[in-house]
């Protein structure tokens, strides 16, 4: 583009010189038109899309005509003509360029370079396909992860994606991995509400606890009796990697810890946060396992936007940020089906586990085998399926028997927090996941030395067998799991 602009301006200067002379020099006129014509030819035959090429050509021609107008400042009539031609051409060019950027679909790739390679080695080929690059995870350096530190996010027109991907796939000398920056969308199912019989007398004074059938199912009231007079070794932090959390909600304000995602226009993250750790026995709203808010704090990292959508890069980045901040538990009620597990999320999970985090992920709501559901199929995470009020598999829940660390929890008609105040019932493995996360957070507050594998072994060995255990794993038993954690 710089060469074509130089040719156009150079041609305009020659035309300006000819226009200033009473005796027009034909060589200057022909030379000027030739340079401008060459620039236009280069635009139209270059790799850029036609609309973009015409836009840049018109803008450059407009700039050249304005140069001529300036050179003819002493001849007002001639200068005026060139000025209007230049301004019009430039306006048309800018309009075409803006239209191209607004209406042309763009995609992004995640490109991992080798540990000894630099972006400059692929910069030319990326630029030739209209790509714009940036480091995907600048918070990670080479000493922490050679893989994640070398990942670049490349944005480019959709029509250029496959061509660039093929070239980068063949560049095995510089490129270790190329994958699409896939998009994931929240998909919460609806479910029939089944009758339950809440306990008549409970320990908690939260006014809505009678509507929380899940606490009965996981023996949460018995767990509260254990925790009432227990002092944690330290508070554990649960990171909600989601749409954000309304940190000012009445049941969240006292236990929310400063973190990036402190607001939530969507609502999904706030709902999950309430299940994981809403302040309990505080005379407000709902209860979680976080007795009097003494055992866990909630942090929030926004992996999904206000529309409930996120990308492989945004989810991995939020996971990495939560791990670097020292989260004890990372709760991820998100994901989607993909035939090939992306290496980027595999590396991000491995990085977070290396930092000491226990990662708990929703199995998904498509009523299919979760072995193709990301990130619940990534090695090292605890994958959570959902049961309903009858402790059968929730109709929407993916099955998890082919995953290495399956567990289940209540996931239908779960009452929790709503942004800007209030409470709402939602269903999904999204709801079952923070219930497990809240339990694991309490376990780590009582025994911080517990490793992720030890925690899963406790959840599994103390879990309750249900009619759904063969398809989604045993259901958590909060009382027994907490007792096991306290006993070391």
Same domain, residue pair 411 and 381:
yes
Tell me what percent of the residues of the chain surpass a pLDDT of 90.
Answer: 74
Could you tell me if 218 and 286 lie in one domain? Answer: yes
Neighbour-count burial for 92-122, b at 16+ CB within 10 Å, e otherwise = bbeebbeebeeeeeebbbbbbbbeebebeeb
Tallying the residues shown for the chain, one arrives at 488
Please tell me whether residue 136 adopts helix, strand or coil conformation: coil
- Side by side, the strands of the sheet bearing 132-135 are 132-135, 151-157, 106-113, 175-180
Assess if residue 343 is contained within a domain.
Answer: yes
SS (H, E, C) 27-77: HHHHHHHHHHHHHHHHHHHCCCCHHHHHHHHHHHHHHHHHHHHHHCCCCHH
Q: Are residues 365 and 292 in the same domain?
A: yes
Query: Which of 103, 124, 155 is where one domain is finished?
Result: 103
- Name the token pair of 1: 């583009």
Strand-strand pairing, 423-426 and 414-417: antiparallel
Inter-helix orientation angle 26-45/50-71, to 10°: 160
Tell which wins on pLDDT, 43 or 152: 152
76 and 168 assigned to the same domain = no
Distance CA 439, CA 435 (A): 6
How much is the average pLDDT of 129-153? 96
Are the C-beta atoms of 107 and 129 separated by less than 8 Å?
no
Q: Which of 87, 103, 119 is the last residue of a domain?
A: 103
Q: How far is CA 140 from CA 177, 269, 480, in A?
A: 18, 25, 38
Tokens of 168: 């980068």
- Tell me which of 442 and 53 has the higher pLDDT: 442
The string of pLDDT tens digits covering residues 4-40 is: 888 888 888 888 888 887 776 888 888 888 988 888 8
Mean pLDDT of the 366-390 span: 97
pLDDT of amino acid 371:
95
> What are the helix (H) ranges across 104-157?
120-128
Mean pLDDT, residues 100-113:
80
**Three-state SS for 4?**
helix
Is 172 in the same domain as 96?
no
pLDDT, position 77: 73
Tell me how far apart the alpha carbons of residues 296 and 280 are, in angstroms, rounded to a whole number: 11
Whether the per-residue pLDDT at 354 is higher than 80: the answer is yes
Domain count, the chain: 3
In this structure, is residue 150 part of a structural domain?
A: yes
Closest to 68 measured CA to CA, from 47, 83, 48, 84: 83
Which of 103, 137, 152 lies at the terminal end of a domain, its last residue? Answer: 103
Shared domain for 355 and 467, answered yes or no, is: yes
Q: How confident is the model at residue 49 (pLDDT cuts 50, 70, 90)?
A: low
Same domain, 335 and 297: yes
d(CA 184, CA 315): 9
CA dihedral for 425, 430, 436, 442, sign (positive or negative):
negative
The pLDDT of 390-412, averaged and rounded, is: 97
Shared domain for 55 and 172, answered yes or no, is no
Question: How high does pLDDT run on average in the chain?
Answer: 93
In a domain, 371, yes or no: yes
Q: Is residue 188 part of a domain?
A: no
CATH code of the domain in which 361 resides:
3.40.50.200
Query: Are 226 and 326 within one domain?
Result: yes
Express as a percent the part of the chain with pLDDT over 70.
Answer: 97
Question: Residue 203: inside a domain, yes or no?
Answer: no
Do 442 and 363 fall within a single domain? yes
Is the pLDDT at 1 greater than 70? The verdict is no
Q: Does 394 score more than 70 pLDDT?
A: yes
Rg of the chain over Cα atoms, rounded to whole angstroms, equals 30
Burial category of 370 from C-beta neighbours within 10 Å (exposed 0-12, middle 13-18, buried 19 and up)? buried
Please indicate, yes or no, whether residues 432 and 407 belong to a single structural domain of this protein: yes
Q: What is the CATH number of the domain that holds 141?
A: 3.30.70
State how far the Cα of 197 lies from the Cα of 217, in Å rounded to an integer: 11
Active-site positions? 242, 268, 430
The yes-or-no verdict on residue 109 having pLDDT over 90 is yes
Encode pLDDT of 159-216 as tens digits: 899 999 999 999 999 999 999 999 999 988 987 888 777 666 889 999 999 999 999 9
CA distances from 461 to 120, 129, 196 (A): 52, 54, 27
What's the pLDDT score for residue 292?
97
- Is the pLDDT assigned to residue 46 strictly greater than 80? no
- The predicted-structure confidence for 430-455, as pLDDT tens digits, reads as follows 999 999 999 999 999 999 999 999 99
Is the residue at 190 inside a domain? Answer: no
Residue 481 has pLDDT above 80, yes or no: yes
pLDDT (tens digit, 9 = 90+) per residue, 301-317? 999 999 999 999 999 99
pLDDT confidence of 103, banded at 50, 70, 90?
low
- The larger pLDDT score, comparing residue 4 to residue 217, is at 217
Please check whether residue 198 lies inside any domain of the structure.
Answer: no
195 assigned to some structural domain:
no
Domain match, 110 and 47 both: no
Summarize pLDDT for 263-303 with one digit per residue, the tens: 999 999 999 999 999 999 999 999 999 999 999 999 999 99
Parent domain of 139: 106-181
Mean per-residue pLDDT for 243-267?
97
């Amino acid at each position: 583009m710089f060469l074509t602009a130089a040719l156009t301006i150079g041609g305009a200067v020659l035309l300006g010189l000819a226009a200033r002379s009473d005796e027009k020099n034909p060589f200057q006129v022909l030379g000027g038109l030739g340079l401008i014509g060459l620039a236009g030819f280069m635009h139209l035959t270059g790799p850029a899309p036609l609309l973009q090429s015409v836009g840049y050509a018109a803008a450059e021609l407009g700039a050249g005509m304005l140069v001529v107008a300036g050179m003819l400042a002493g001849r007002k009539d001639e200068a005026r003509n060139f000025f209007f031609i230049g301004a019009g051409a430039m306006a048309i060019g800018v309009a075409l360029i803006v239209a191209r950027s607004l209406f042309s679909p763009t995609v992004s790739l995640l490109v991992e370079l080798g540990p000894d390679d630099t972006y400059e080695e692929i910069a030319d080929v990326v630029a030739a396909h209209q790509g714009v690059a940036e480091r995907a995870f600048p918070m990670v350096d080479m000493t922490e992860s050679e893989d994640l530190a070398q990942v670049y996010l490349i944005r480019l027109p959709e029509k250029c994606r496959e061509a660039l991907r093929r070239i980068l796939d063949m560049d095995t000398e510089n490129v270790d991995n190329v994958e699409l920056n896939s998009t994931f969308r929240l998909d919460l199912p609806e479910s029939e509400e089944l009758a339950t019989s809440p306990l008549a007398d409970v320990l908690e004074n939260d006014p809505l606890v009678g509507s929380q059938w899940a606490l009965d199912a996981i023996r949460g009231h018995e767990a509260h009796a254990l925790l009432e007079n227990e002092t944690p070794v330290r508070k554990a932090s649960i990171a909600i990697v989601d749409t954000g959390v309304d940190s000012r909600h009445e049941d969240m304000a006292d236990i929310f810890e400063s973190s990036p995602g402190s607001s939530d226009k969507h609502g999904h993250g706030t709902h999950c946060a309430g299940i994981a750790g809403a302040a309990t026995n505080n005379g407000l709203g709902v209860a979680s396992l976080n007795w009097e808010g003494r055992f866990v704090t909630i942090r929030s990292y926004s992996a999904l936007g206000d529309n409930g959508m996120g990308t492989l890069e945004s989810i991995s980045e939020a996971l990495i940020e939560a791990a670097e901040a020292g989260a004890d538990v990372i709760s991820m009620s998100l994901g989607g089906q993909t035939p090939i597990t992306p290496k980027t999320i595999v590396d991000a999970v491995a990085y977070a586990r290396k930092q000491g985090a226990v990662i708990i992920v929703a199995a998904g709501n498509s009523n299919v085998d979760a072995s193709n559901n990301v990130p619940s199929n990534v090695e090292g995470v605890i994958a959570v399926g959902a049961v309903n009020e009858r402790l059968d598999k929730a109709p929407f829940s993916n099955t998890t028997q082919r995953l290495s660390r399956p567990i289940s929890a209540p996931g239908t008609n779960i009452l929790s927090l709503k942004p800007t105040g209030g409470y709402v019932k939602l269903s999904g493995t999204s709801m079952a996941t923070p219930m497990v996360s809240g339990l694991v957070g309490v376990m780590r507050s009582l025994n911080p030395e517990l490793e992720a594998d030890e925690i899963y072994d406790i959840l599994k060995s103390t879990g309750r067998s249900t009619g759904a255990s063969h398809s989604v794993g045993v259901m958590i038993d909060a009382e027994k799991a907490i007792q096991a954690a306290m006993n070391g």
